[in-house]
Structure 1
Amino acid sequence: MDGATLYSIGELSRRTGLSVTTIRFYSDSGVVAPTRRTPAGYRLYDLDALLRLELVRTLRELGMDLATVRQVLNRELTVAEVAAAHADAVDVQIRLLQLRRSVLRVVAKRGSDPEETKLMHRLTQLSGDERRRLIDDFLDGTFGTEAVGADPVILAMIRSATPDLPDDPSPEQVAAWVELAELVGDPDFRTRMRRAAPYQAGRRTLDIEARAGDELMEFTRQKVAEAREAGIDPLDDRAAPIVDDLVRRFAEVFDRAPDPEFRTWMARQFEPAHDPRVERYWRLVWAVRGRQVVPGLLPIHPWLIQALRSSHDA
């Protein structure tokens, strides 16, 4: 085979694997023009045309549109430039497919109805910027300059844990994100979050905490944090000795007997800083972020209140 060899359209088809119809289309559209025609009008192509056709086939198989292929052939774009752009586009497609796969798994696992499935799909289709804007709108509406009790420290604390879906979320992360998106749009939840956040950020102190003193409260936070990190459920029997010791220490400070009545009183004193929906928010945030253990942003109050009431009921 040399530069003087000419090929019929059938021979090009055999060498390139492209159909005669496809080659004829490329030829008619000027992508790969015939070198010349026979007296009978049959098209003939040289080696350069063969190489161009092989390049066209490769680029098309990589997903490039015909207009882009034409730009490469005309040297208006380099293959490297086009490859980089298409690699980015493929990355986006992969992320969308991964996200779609996770949504489908959630739907299959939960047996979602059509309305929930549509909502889930719509929320997960939001871009990263749109998802961040949804959370930003929630934070600004709840703690912004015009919000009651606005505090930059609280806002900074909550922004530090802003959730977003990874490129390849698990079904659990998708489910958590959808629930979180619905939660932050609820006006009632915004009120609850605004009320509870000052306690979480240490900007407001409960009366029992002020009277107990810094030393005992720091000890309490440490013991509850250790219990949580060890995976000790507040309703577990393993929580009993921890709570018994804390009740005894608080009873000494308040000059009370460490009896069931005092335990009930303690639980009630800690309740203003605890809201189940706010606790749920933090658990969803860390589920979206792929964390199994909820960090210290979740206050001691939920664990302690449950443990106090459980030991009293027992």
Structure 2
Amino acid sequence: MSIGELAERAGVTVKTVRFYSDRGLLPEAGRSTGGHRRYAPEALGRLRLIRSLRTLDLPVPEVGRVLDREGALEDVIAGQLKELGSQLAALRWREAALQLLRDCTAEERVDRLRLIGAVATPPSTAPMVRFWRQVLPARLPARLFSSIVEAAVPQPPADPTPAQVLAFARLHALTSEARLGHCRPESHCQGKDPAVLYDGLAEAYGLAAPDLRARARPYEGAALDCFVAAHARFHRTRDTPAFRSRLSGLLAQSADSVMDGYWQLGAELSTSAEPTLGATDDWLRAALDSQVDQAAR
């Protein structure tokens, strides 16, 4: 077939056929004595396949991968779905952000615009991860760091509400600009193994989680005993009434407004019924304080 015959049968322009030929997607069978392109019969099916792939907005290089390598179509589809999902997430975020700016006062709009403008689209959790690198001890094993970050860093909702956009933007600002105070751990971890503490805390949080889900009031029990035991092992001492009283005071001194704000905003972003690590830690501290107060009476 000539280039004109191929274009007519495929329902495209000669310019389109020439474009795909020049990019190596549509090989020529040869040239006429006058130098005009000639195509084999199978070129028609190949051209129709190219058109079908292009209607899915596949880039030309991706179309070439599909044509040249058997089985490449599945990889290309997976990649395009991932990219499309990212684009849709960005659009949903922008929509909620615009709604947030629309439904506020002029005074609020300036501050909200500043907060939202600092967040990438789609939003990234990188500032939160960097924040936890500062908060957690440097010598903490990678397995513990990963598990804590996974539990502590809220993911941006797939379909956020305007309120969630605001909470995420505030959390982004808090972790980007944080000036850490008592929540910095290195001073009380000097010469000690932080894994001893954080492994014990993970166990205590697991024991306390059912009580938090049931909205039970803080009380003495296995979760509190595990919580105190983790701190006692870390401080290389025994769990005694005197230690519990001292621990209650130490934990009160370590309270930090940055961390309080972090957990509050994280809870606003959470789409799970599971309590946050911050809420669980507060529950256990309250149980300890209550026990110490009763013992002092």
User: TM-score, length-normalised on structure 2?
Assistant: 0.55
Task: Give the counterpart letter for 2:10 in structure 1.
Answer: T
Say if 1:274 and 1:292 are closer, same or farther in 2 by CA, change over 3 A.
farther
Are 1:288 and 2:281 an aligned pair?
no
Task: Give the counterpart letter for 1:139 in structure 2.
Answer: W
Whether contact under 8 Å (1:36, 1:44) holds in the other structure is yes
Task: Give the counterpart letter for 1:141 in structure 2.
Answer: Q
Are 1:168 and 2:158 an aligned pair?
yes
Aligned residue for 2:261, secondary structure, equals helix
Q: Residue 130 of structure 2 aligns with which residue? A: 137
- Structure 1 window deviating more from structure 2 (159-168 vs 97-106): it is 159-168
Are 1:58 and 2:52 an aligned pair?
yes
Q: Residue 42 of structure 2 aligns with which residue? A: 48
Task: Give the counterpart letter for 2:272 in structure 1.
Answer: R
The size of the alignment, in residue pairs, is 219
Say if 1:192 and 1:186 are closer, same or farther in 2 by CA, change over 3 A.
farther
Question: How many Å separate the matches in 1 of 2:150 and 2:24?
Answer: 56
Question: How many Å separate the matches in 2 of 1:272 and 1:157?
Answer: 26
Q: Deviations over 1:177-235 (max 9, x none)?
A: 221122123444x215459xx9xxxx9xxxxxxxxxxxxxx9xx98x94379xxxxxxx
Instruction: Please point out which of 257, 267, 280 is paired with 1:297.
Output: 280
Are 1:107 and 2:90 an aligned pair?
no
Question: How many Å separate the matches in 1 of 2:46 and 2:145?
Answer: 59
Question: How many Å separate the matches in 1 of 2:120 and 2:5?
Answer: 49
Question: How many Å separate the matches in 2 of 1:49 and 1:286?
Answer: 59
Task: Give the counterpart letter for 1:297 in structure 2.
Answer: T
Alignment of 1:123-272 (within 5 A): 124-126=122-124, 131-132=125-126, 134-145=127-138, 159=149, 161-166=151-156, 168-171=158-161, 172-188=163-179, 190-191=180-181, 193-194=183-184, 225-226=215-216
Question: How many Å separate the matches in 2 of 1:299 and 1:105?
Answer: 32
Question: How many Å separate the matches in 2 of 1:91 and 1:25?
Answer: 28
Alignment of 1:11-22 (within 5 A): 11-22=5-16
User: TM-score, length-normalised on structure 1?
Assistant: 0.52
Whether contact under 8 Å (2:93, 2:159) holds in the other structure is yes
Per-residue deviation, 1:48:
0.7
Question: How many Å separate the matches in 2 of 1:184 and 1:30?
Answer: 50
Per-residue deviation, 1:288:
2.9
Per-residue deviation, 1:45:
3.5
Per-residue deviation, 1:53:
0.7
Whether contact under 8 Å (1:283, 1:294) holds in the other structure is no
Identity between Structure 1 and Structure 2 (%): 22
Question: How many Å separate the matches in 2 of 1:169 and 1:101?
Answer: 6
CA RMSD between the two structures:
4.4
Say if 1:156 and 1:59 are closer, same or farther in 2 by CA, change over 3 A.
closer
Q: Deviations over 1:279-305 (max 9, x none)?
A: 33212223333236745426259999x
Are 1:87 and 2:81 an aligned pair?
no
Q: Which runs of 5+ in 1 are unaligned?
A: 1-5, 204-217, 229-269, 305-314
Say if 1:169 and 1:163 are closer, same or farther in 2 by CA, change over 3 A.
farther
Whether contact under 8 Å (2:168, 2:269) holds in the other structure is yes
Say if 1:72 and 1:159 are closer, same or farther in 2 by CA, change over 3 A.
closer
Whether contact under 8 Å (2:20, 2:26) holds in the other structure is yes
Aligned residue for 1:24, secondary structure, equals helix
Q: Residue 236 of structure 1 aligns with which residue? A: none
Question: How many Å separate the matches in 1 of 2:123 and 2:129?
Answer: 18
Q: Which runs of 5+ in 2 are unaligned?
A: 103-108, 189-196, 198-207, 219-250, 288-297
